Amino acid sequence: MAEPRGILQLECPRLGGKGDGSILCEAPEGPFRQNTPVPFSLRESGRVRGVFAEGAESVDRPSRGGYDALCGRNPGAPGLASGEGAFMANEQDRMERIVALAKRRGFIFPGSEIYGGLNGFWDYGPLGVELKRNIKDAWWHDCVTTRDDVVGLDAAIIMNPKAWEASGHVSGFNDPMVDDKETKNRFRADHLYGIWVVAPQHEKEKIGPPVGDSIYFGPGERDIAVGVMRQALEEGRFSPPTATIIASSEGEVLNQLVRQEKGKGIVNRGWFVNLEIALRRTGKTLDITFEDKKGNVAWAFVRHIPVKVLVTNSEMIPSPYTGKRGVLTEPRNFNLMFQTYYGAVFDEAHKAYLRPETAQGIFVNYKNVLDTSRLKVPFGIAQIGKAFRNEINPRNYTFRSREFEQMEIEFFCHPSEADKWYATWRQARFDWYVGLGLKSDRLRLRDHEKDELAHYAKACADIEYAFPFGTSELEGVANRTDFDLKQHQQFSGRDMTYYDDETKERFLPYVIEPSGGVDRALLAFLCEAYDEDEAPDENGKPQRRTVLRFHPRLAPIKVAVFPLVKKDGMPEKARAIYEECRRHLAAFYDEKGAIGRRYRRQDEAGTPFCVTVDGQTLEDGTVTIRDRDTMKQERIGAESVLHYVREHLHL
């Protein structure tokens, strides 16, 4: 395999600013396998501007398979092979198109938009609320209705504050917060990544003056300089980084670095056009190696900055907004719960909280459910409901919001069976997402390392999805042991133990918790369904088509019915078919505009089938039914439309 080539200097005010010593690198998404260098080139192919493997053929729609194998989403798979396709470098453009479509077609609106919006709050439009309801209905059907060991609950949003003291939220539900004293921006201290640079001496003027954070080497000193920086970072001996960036994961870091910001352009365009990039994992550090056409080599090292470094050396850490040093405050704890008051008096005795999670409502009702439903351990309690967290930095569209909806199950079992039930729910929840359409290699199941586990958890796994902005958690499945019941037993004075009549044993059940987000699931299904291809217009000329390929259970509209023209009795016939369909499933009627445009509107809504009443319908009683994904059309009897749709959608 050839040595990696290419060097890239990025200039972006948010990531350090022009001329202030910031050098960042263009790289695709991680996490990357240890010691797996792969050559790439950045070029255009058709409509795609992306990172290609050496020898990859030009393609119009990129495949991520081999690239994601390198990223570790398919453990054991080989690295990206030559000719295996392309990875779209500019995922940000894709995300912007998804957001624009969601607004244009009535899926998601900014909250309170006419007043300028409110950061971290979103409203769901007509199609969005149908999609959201379908997700919740599918979850409830599969996790509650079709099981005899799970029942439902709808607990109050505001609970007795002592419940949050028992759960630890009052004292421990905090995030470390850092402020930029100049810009007044605020971010989480544990979401800061640093970039360290090692470059040739003659590149100093382009990169910036050394301040103890960059290493510049002379002839013959390259390997020594790289080794010194790599070893220092691996051993935790942090010198101040050249630049910093805010992200919740390494994947998000690298995705931000790969962006081409419209209008400005992060890339210094006067530099290199064709690039080949190699990335190498060494312990906790990601190494990115570059070589330009003249043979000059530079390195960038990406590493998470521990909060303790910000505590002891905040004055030496550059701002992620301006690149200036000495403007960041030391981390301070920030409680994420929204406070409110109940009753007529606003004092400490009447203070309450909007729930930050739905789980505690289940735990405090555990005995009530047990006593009234005649259930025996093992059994589960399920709940779908709103939760609120005063996030320091809401971002990534609806993914990290201040108001969101959760789908949670607390499954109570004997401690000796907890491992078995954890494994069962861990796989069942992953399979649920696959069954509803998240079948690409963007989806993965990742077990937590020991140092990631919450203090109460024996085991935890995250179901993660590679969103255009980075790989992040959709749902977590955790073995919470008996921590929660024990806490509520201690703080309330009520007996939370379970007595088994058959074994004559009394014990505190362990809890297995599958906890997912409705909004995050919706965003993942939306991103997975989004696609672009070509379809002929009224004149037969190929045009770009945007389509949402939703799973039938999730599609907001199942069938749309059109009259070809608004005359000759076609609207009346179409309306009759529509009325019959909508009594049984979500249907839509549209008689405005050219038929091709009506098709496109329904493609953007994700509607699986469109039915058209035309002149032939009046002659033989048949209609045209069009498939969303293949665009193939066939004629069926008008009286068979409902049966056809239900049969093909398995409804």
Domain ranges in the chain are 13-86+190-301, 108-173+337-525, 557-649
| Per-residue pLDDT band at 220 (split at 50, 70, 90) | low
Strands 459-467 and 443-447: antiparallel
Over residues 576-589, mean pLDDT: 96
Tens of pLDDT, residues 282-328: 667 776 665 555 555 566 778 888 888 888 888 888 888 888 888 99
Question: Residue 191's pLDDT is what?
Answer: 86
Over residues 320-344, mean pLDDT: 88
Highest mean pLDDT among 230-239, 534-543, 596-605: 596-605
| Per-residue pLDDT band at 256 (split at 50, 70, 90) | low
Question: Residue 307's pLDDT is what?
Answer: 86
| Per-residue pLDDT band at 255 (split at 50, 70, 90) | low
Higher pLDDT, 236 or 41: 236
- Bridge partners of 410, per DSSP, are 381
| Per-residue pLDDT band at 520 (split at 50, 70, 90) | very high
Higher pLDDT, 28 or 176: 176
Give the lowest-confidence range in 79-83, 100-104, 430-434, 438-442.
79-83
- The CA distance from 244 to 358, in Å, is 35
- Contact between residue 277 and residue 27 where contact means Cβ atoms under 8 Å apart: yes
| Per-residue pLDDT band at 273 (split at 50, 70, 90) | very low
The CATH number of the structural domain formed by 108-173+337-525 is: 3.30.930.10
- The CA distance from 263 to 261, in Å, is 6
Quick one: tokens of 365?
A: 């009702």
Question: Residue 25's pLDDT is what?
Answer: 28
Question: Residue 538's pLDDT is what?
Answer: 72
Higher pLDDT, 547 or 281: 547
Tens of pLDDT, residues 88-97: 345 778 888 9
Question: Residue 599's pLDDT is what?
Answer: 94
On average, the pLDDT of the chain sits at 78
Question: Residue 549's pLDDT is what?
Answer: 96
Question: Residue 54's pLDDT is what?
Answer: 29
Which one is the CATH code of 557-649: 3.40.190.10, 3.20.20.70, 3.40.50.800, 3.40.50.460? Answer: 3.40.50.800
- The CA distance from 611 to 54, in Å, is 46
Tens of pLDDT, residues 485-518: 999 999 999 999 999 999 999 999 999 999 999 9
Tens of pLDDT, residues 187-208: 888 888 887 777 666 555 544 4
Give the lowest-confidence range in 166-175, 183-192, 205-214, 336-345.
205-214
Percent of the chain with pLDDT over 90: 52
Torsion angle in degrees (nearest 10) through CA of 114, 117, 118, 121: 100
Amino acid in position 388: F
In DSSP notation, 71-124 reads TTSSTT---PPTTS-EEES-HHHHHHHHHHHHHHTTSEEETTGGGT--TT-EEE
| Per-residue pLDDT band at 356 (split at 50, 70, 90) | very high
Whether pLDDT at 32 is above 80 = no
Tens of pLDDT, residues 9-27: 222 222 222 322 222 222 2
- The CA distance from 92 to 511, in Å, is 39
Backbone φ and ψ for 44, nearest 5 degrees, come out as -110, 145
Question: Residue 166's pLDDT is what?
Answer: 93
Backbone φ and ψ for 340, nearest 5 degrees, come out as -150, 180
Question: Residue 294's pLDDT is what?
Answer: 59
Whether pLDDT at 581 is above 90 = yes
Whether pLDDT at 442 is above 60 = yes
Do the domains 108-173+337-525 and 557-649 sit in the same CATH topology, yes or no? no
Question: Residue 24's pLDDT is what?
Answer: 27
Tens of pLDDT, residues 611-646: 999 999 999 999 999 999 999 999 999 999 999 999
Higher pLDDT, 99 or 237: 99
Neighbour tally for 35: CB within 10 Å: 9
Tens of pLDDT, residues 366-395: 999 999 988 999 999 999 999 999 888 788
Is pTM, for the whole model, over 0.85?
no
